[in-house]
Structure 1
């Protein structure tokens, strides 16, 4: 006898095997299409109309879509339910299918007939790149649709209100198009199953609909890179399943709601580049799962709440470019997983809490805050820093020797009052790839040990009192493909001597883009070897004591966009090839001893670029007198 109490185990077993039965049927249908229903004529008509509206298909995605074939059997990207022959999925993204090209490209518009695929569950036409026009309102008829991916195309217009009728939607991604307009509040009312909403990188405007808080299943929300305005919905804390929220690069204003503290599952909070104001709510300390906090580039005021020390899973804090005040709380020392702390361009005051080195901090930027630090704190030597930025923080005194044994690769101490000689131990900082000690009071020569900085790529020493030769800088060793200068600025110092005529052949210089040597008593000629610098974009040799001609060889530097040679003793004529460099935007040879007619040129250079050369004539100066 069959007893009712035995039905539960049976039903559980049946539930487990049904998906496998479906997979077996689908597998068999792939090799024996006669066992399943053929493509439904309504679906075929809809798909053929979609193909008809595609004007360009260079990757042949639709080459198998032929009217006399079965769309369920041979059409690329079309998936049918074998039980009833209706299309349930349209997608060109299946990494397990060798038939699909890696680079998808379709140009055309979306067919309103897609709304007739009434059994469709997944519609993925993302990254087709050139699908344009409006999203058809008929998509609102797809009552079984769970996934709608149309991202990375050129769709425009607004989101049709009819999309709100698809209450089965679980994933909606319309990002990276040119969609615009406001989003009606009614759209989000029925999306009770939606877990994934991405509308980023469009042109949506107006307020964030308050109905968004009704989507209680939402785990991922990205509205970044739009023109949304107004306030963050006050009840955003109702979205308790959220683990990712991104509202960056909009025009959102007002306060961060206190209710945000209820998002206990939240791991990523990105609201940078908006107009948010007011204080950071203390409830932010309740986001115990948070890993990434990005509130930079807003107008936030007030202090950094002590409760931030409760974010025990945090790895990144970006609060730069606000108007935050007060002391940096010592509770940050609790954040043992924190690697990035960016607080620059605020109004924080000192002293700094030594507890900062209780963390696993690797990237610290406190620049442009009125800390009045005095000496660089010695306890920073206990941190495991890779990047240290203390520009314009009121530092004086000397460079601390503990830097010589650090692993720092990015050091910025610019715009302070640091004095003394550049120590020989600077050569021990062999991890350095970026060094900026500009606008301080250094007064020595560059020690020979500087050559050991084999990974250094960016060097800024401008506005100090360095003296002597540039040899140790130019002759720096490199490490295989690393250590080639990209940017070099030693302007406004007291460096002397001629510029090495072989500079363009030195390994450390060969891939430089910006070379700035202005306002030094450097003599001699401009080296012809500069023509060998294949990525050269910016040459600044103003206010030196250079003489001789402008080398015509520089005209072969096709990437040059800026040449500034004013206030020297240059003679001869202006080389035609140099003045007609295709990308040249800035050219200044004023106040030299140049002569002759200015060559005809396409660039729009002002008169001031040529003044102070009594022997020069021709456009834009007065005409030459022959």
Structure 2
């Protein structure tokens, strides 16, 4: 997956379901003191939120992020500190003060996206027993989950995602029996999923992705009959996918990708009639794909890539709802792109390494395509006829095939973000390709290992959003144009093993600190390397096998070489 939209929408609904009290509340003195103590623990605030916390003003009326209950003596019921969108960095630096535990009427505590709040979670936070929603996300919190959290019996939503928390996930969390959402993703947790989590009978969202969890996925998760979202991706789980998951019939989104799961895909998953997205990629799954999976009535996204699955794939039973499919790098041998893909409206088709031969076909309903990956196959011929009818496509990957065409005669949609054609037999000039095609949205262009000739045109700088440019191992001649220095977002530049000559232009210094990788080796370049970072800090291998490049990190220049 991961499907943050699902969690985000759910979280928003929870947060804003808090009763909106009248604004005519007078702040409780004890709560005000607790908040000011919290403010002292924040040493940097670029959001400006805490600047509104003036001790001379009423915290219920004038302080940003505070909500109060006027019918209960102006007690604080909500504290929400969220990073601002847009502008500059939106951070707070400091620690979470134990004084938060003095906010005894607090129901909602949301501190998210502020990046530099560190230290441990206060143990005494469990004294705020009215808490129903606790979000401490995308900070720098360390340590473990306090064992005292078991006292938060009213808690319905707990998210500690995006921190540096470690240790094992405590089985005692299953005592927080009203939990509807539990999100602990993007931390450093280790060990197994507690088997006792099967007792969280109200749970709808469980996200433990991007940790270092291990062991088997407990069969007890099948007891969570109200579960709609399950993400266990990017961990170290082993063993088989539990057949009991088929009992969680409300599941809509499931990701078990990037683990070490073995065995077959259980046919019981075919009983999840509400399932919309299923990702089992990057595992060690074997055998054939059960027909019950492909015929799920609401399934729109299926990712089984990077496993050891084998033919035949039950495409004839594919659900009409399917829009996105990734079967790359398994044991499938399709020879042709299957008719059940060619004849339907798809958004994403990824069939890399699937033994596909021949020329690219015409898709009968191509207008909704967003991305296509047919890399590492045996495709040949031209691509114009295929992509001319895909006006909204953003990502094209056709690398490592046998495609042969004149790049200067190709017209592609202008809103492309990613174009990867490396390791083919493409010829022609870049000038002809780029003329009249500004590609102002393009972020990644890889045409390496082809037979492209001519010069790098100065209009290449019109691709102002380009982050990655790889033209290596072609037959490109002439000079590196000064205009490349105007490509301020470049992080990766590789023009190695061509026939480029003269100097590396000084204008490339203007790219500045964004550039993380550059490669100029294997050309006919001569003269002084730009003497500024990062060019004088790249390894010497960046510049080897040219005519007479000099200057740090190469040997010093002689006067005749500068």
Using the size of structure 2 for normalisation, the TM-score is 0.81
Change in CA separation of 1:529 and 1:175 when aligned onto 2, cut-off 3 Å: closer
Question: Who wins on radius of gyration, i.e. which is larger?
Answer: 1
1:473-518 residue CA offsets vs partner (Å, 9 max, x unmatched) = 2xx275xxxx244444444444445543x76652344554444444
Change in CA separation of 1:215 and 1:46 when aligned onto 2, cut-off 3 Å: closer
1:254 to 215, 238, 245: 215
1:506 to 428, 436, 445: 436
Which residue does the alignment assign to 2:170?
Answer: 209
Which residue does the alignment assign to 1:309?
Answer: 270
| Alignment coverage as a number of residue pairs | 530
Change in CA separation of 1:433 and 1:621 when aligned onto 2, cut-off 3 Å: same
Which residue does the alignment assign to 1:455?
Answer: none
Distance in 2 separating the partners of 1:552 and 1:48: 55
Distance in 2 separating the partners of 1:272 and 1:574: 44
Distance in 2 separating the partners of 1:39 and 1:616: 70
1:445-496 residue CA offsets vs partner (Å, 9 max, x unmatched) = xxxxxxxxxxxxxxxxxxx3x14x32222xx275xxxx24444444444444
C-alpha displacement at 1:252, in angstroms?
Answer: 1.0
1:534 aligns with 2:464: yes
1:132 aligns with 2:121: no
2:240 to 279, 293, 300: 279
Distance in 1 separating the partners of 2:384 and 2:510: 44
C-alpha displacement at 1:568, in angstroms?
Answer: 3.8
Change in CA separation of 1:434 and 1:89 when aligned onto 2, cut-off 3 Å: same
Which residue does the alignment assign to 1:452?
Answer: none
2:409 to 455, 466, 472: 472
Distance in 2 separating the partners of 1:386 and 1:165: 49
Paired residue secondary structure (2:198):
helix
1:156 aligns with 2:118: yes
Q: How does 1:219-618 map to 2 (within 5 A)?
A: 219-381=180-342, 383-403=344-364, 407-419=368-380, 424=385, 427-441=388-402, 464=403, 466-467=404-405, 469-473=406-410, 476=411, 483-500=414-431, 506-578=436-508, 581-583=511-513, 584-598=515-529, 600-602=531-533, 603=535, 604-618=537-551
Change in CA separation of 1:256 and 1:490 when aligned onto 2, cut-off 3 Å: closer
Structure 2 residues without counterparts, runs of 5 or longer: 1-18
Distance in 2 separating the partners of 1:150 and 1:64: 20
Paired residue secondary structure (2:155):
coil
C-alpha displacement at 1:575, in angstroms?
Answer: 3.1
C-alpha displacement at 1:61, in angstroms?
Answer: 5.5
Distance in 2 separating the partners of 1:43 and 1:563: 55
Distance in 1 separating the partners of 2:63 and 2:386: 69
Report if the CA contact (8 A) 1:332-1:356 is conserved.
Answer: no
Distance in 2 separating the partners of 1:526 and 1:423: 22
C-alpha displacement at 1:247, in angstroms?
Answer: 0.8
Report if the CA contact (8 A) 2:76-2:105 is conserved.
Answer: no
Paired residue secondary structure (1:317):
strand
1:88 aligns with 2:50: no
Distance in 2 separating the partners of 1:334 and 1:242: 27
Structure 1 residues without counterparts, runs of 5 or longer: 1-22, 95-100, 105-126, 442-463
1:79 to 68, 92, 115: 68
C-alpha displacement at 1:199, in angstroms?
Answer: 1.7
1:507-537 residue CA offsets vs partner (Å, 9 max, x unmatched) = 3445544444444444444333334443344
Change in CA separation of 1:262 and 1:533 when aligned onto 2, cut-off 3 Å: closer
Change in CA separation of 1:314 and 1:72 when aligned onto 2, cut-off 3 Å: closer
C-alpha displacement at 1:614, in angstroms?
Answer: 4.0
1:624 aligns with 2:558: yes
Report if the CA contact (8 A) 1:78-1:87 is conserved.
Answer: no
Which residue does the alignment assign to 1:116?
Answer: none
C-alpha displacement at 1:158, in angstroms?
Answer: 2.6
Change in CA separation of 1:519 and 1:265 when aligned onto 2, cut-off 3 Å: closer
Distance in 2 separating the partners of 1:162 and 1:561: 46
Q: How does 1:190-205 map to 2 (within 5 A)?
A: 190-205=151-166
1:102-122 residue CA offsets vs partner (Å, 9 max, x unmatched) = 969xxxxxxxxxxxxxxxxxx
Ranked by relative contact order (alpha carbons within 8 Å, sequence separation 6 or more), the top structure is: 2
C-alpha displacement at 1:156, in angstroms?
Answer: 2.9
Change in CA separation of 1:354 and 1:61 when aligned onto 2, cut-off 3 Å: same
1:173 aligns with 2:125: no
1:96-147 residue CA offsets vs partner (Å, 9 max, x unmatched) = xxxxx9969xxxxxxxxxxxxxxxxxxxxxx9952622441x5556555444
* Cα RMSD (Å): 3.7
Change in CA separation of 1:248 and 1:490 when aligned onto 2, cut-off 3 Å: closer
Which residue does the alignment assign to 2:8?
Answer: none
C-alpha displacement at 1:279, in angstroms?
Answer: 0.6
Distance in 2 separating the partners of 1:128 and 1:434: 31
Distance in 2 separating the partners of 1:537 and 1:599: 20
C-alpha displacement at 1:368, in angstroms?
Answer: 0.6
More off after superposition, 307-316 vs 222-231:
222-231
Paired residue secondary structure (2:195):
coil
C-alpha displacement at 1:404, in angstroms?
Answer: 6.5
C-alpha displacement at 1:236, in angstroms?
Answer: 1.6
Using the size of structure 1 for normalisation, the TM-score is 0.74
Distance in 2 separating the partners of 1:597 and 1:369: 49
